[in-house]
Amino acid sequence: MLSADNPAARLATRLAFLVAGFGVSCWAPLVPYAKHRLDVDERTLGFLLLCLGIGSLVSMLFTGMWSARFGTRPVVLASGFGLAASLPLLAIASTPFTLGVSLLLFGATMGSLDVAMNIHAVEVEHGAGEPLLSGFHALYSVGGFAGAAFMTLLLSAGITPLTSVLAGAVLMALAMFATSPRLLRTKAADGEPHFALPRGVVLVIAILSAIMFLAEGSLLDWSALLITGKNLVAVEQGGIGYMLFAIAMTLARFSGDALTARLGDRKIMLWGSLMAIAGFAVLLLTPVVAMAMGAFVLIGLGCANVVPVLFRLAGSQKVMPPGLAIAAITTMGYAGILLGPAMIGFVAKHVGLTMAFWMIPALLLSVPLCAAMVTARR
């Protein structure tokens, strides 16, 4: 059995985060193609995105229990390979029903992988005895950049969406094969509960996590339509905005642990969220391409280390067992990244996509307002 304080276990965790980020960002450049192929409006697309969220939420409700009972290794492997297998379905679905079912499966595997890999990451960090979460989340951002760039380059070169996602799925499967022998083999301690609802400060942290991930999910699913709808870029380059966001987040997260140690969790939450709010305001107000692309960078820099701080806070609180707290905020956080875009679609049907996006900076205001309270309870 591998020790938690083991370079192989760290590598496996990084690969799992890389696959998750790569897979989900491969979907972003496909959204305009899916909308055109099915000839649906924003409201219908919002309902379809809700299928992705439902699939993820249902799987998340069980993943914490599965990970506690069987260990994270089999859950990470099953969901990682499942994510790669379900990705090509998004490029061949020809009706709203088949796309909805495909998004349901894609969301289920993505949600399960997100929960299991974060639990595994906490186990590895505890074994190492040093901060590692920002670095692990940085690999998710690397995957996000790589997936968006990979798909954008292939689509811009005239390669069909199906061929592009098949190539991406093969890369994901190869990474999961490399992950398999290096994952920890762990189970919950005897008598430890396998599930608990978040309460107290954990509930507040979970809500803030949901808001942060909602912002990221909205960029993932809607940023291509937002900037192409404003005629800032051509449809083939719709993924550029999210790619820049992912690059900025990646660079900030690689230095996140050291920066947090120097400034403290409270300042990271405060200034990071304010920076993201400013970025959304610029993105929604400017008609200039360069400023809009700069806004994506600003949002990425601001959001980058807030989420790892929230995970660290959940792991250090005393209200409930840290492992269960991590599972709870992971579930609620990734519920935000999946259900939030559906909400954007519903509102956009009535007031337009740009006006609907103003909900995001409004919700983000709760992060600096709650920063002092959640960090004071450590």
Task: Report d(CA 301, CA 252) in Å as an integer.
Answer: 6
Q: Is residue 177 part of a domain?
A: yes
Q: Is residue 190 part of a domain?
A: no
Span 350-371, average pLDDT: 90
DSSP 8-state secondary structure symbol assigned to residue 94: -
pLDDT tens string 195-235: 667 778 889 999 999 999 888 888 877 888 888 877 777 77
Is the pLDDT at 193 greater than 70, yes or no?
no
Q: Is residue 1 part of a domain?
A: no
Task: Report d(CA 335, CA 35) in Å as an integer.
Answer: 23
Number of domains within the chain: 1
Which of 82, 75, 83, 81 lies closest to 183 in space, CA to CA? Answer: 75
Task: Report d(CA 209, CA 54) in Å as an integer.
Answer: 18
Q: What CATH number does residue 26 fall under? A: 1.20.1250.20
Q: Which residues contact 312 (CB under 8 A, 6 or more apart)?
A: 131, 133, 260, 265
Residue 352: pLDDT band by 50, 70, 90 thresholds?
Answer: confident
Residue numbers of the domain that contains 99: 7-184+195-376
Residue 238: pLDDT band by 50, 70, 90 thresholds?
Answer: confident
Q: Which residues contact 210 (CB under 8 A, 6 or more apart)?
A: 332, 333, 335, 336
Q: Is residue 272 part of a domain?
A: yes
Task: Scan for tokens 């499967």, then name that residue.
Answer: 173
Who wins on pLDDT, 100 or 377?
A: 100
Which of 117, 48, 119, 26 lies closest to 79 in space, CA to CA? Answer: 117
Q: Is residue 310 part of a domain?
A: yes
| Average of per-residue pLDDT values in the chain | 85
Is the pLDDT at 172 greater than 90, yes or no?
yes
Q: Which residues contact 172 (CB under 8 A, 6 or more apart)?
A: 19, 22, 23, 80, 83, 84, 87
Q: What is the pLDDT of residue 194?
A: 57
pLDDT tens string 132-167: 888 898 898 788 878 888 988 998 888 888 999 999
Q: Is residue 2 part of a domain?
A: no
Q: What is the pLDDT of residue 377?
A: 54
Share of residues in the chain with pLDDT > 90 (%) = 28
Does residue 183 come out as left (phi exceeding 0), alpha (psi in the -120 to 50 range) or beta?
beta
Q: What is the pLDDT of residue 224?
A: 81
Q: Is residue 189 part of a domain?
A: no
Is the pLDDT at 69 greater than 60, yes or no?
yes
Q: Is residue 309 part of a domain?
A: yes
Residue type, 169: A
pLDDT tens string 324-342: 787 788 888 877 876 777 7
Number of H helices, E strands in the chain: 18, 0
Is the pLDDT at 243 greater than 90, yes or no?
no
Give CA angle at 318 (199, 314), nearest 5°.
70
Which of 274, 272, 281 lies closest to 301 in space, CA to CA? Answer: 272
Is the pLDDT at 52 greater than 90, yes or no?
no
- In sign, the C-alpha dihedral spanning 367, 369, 370, 373 is positive
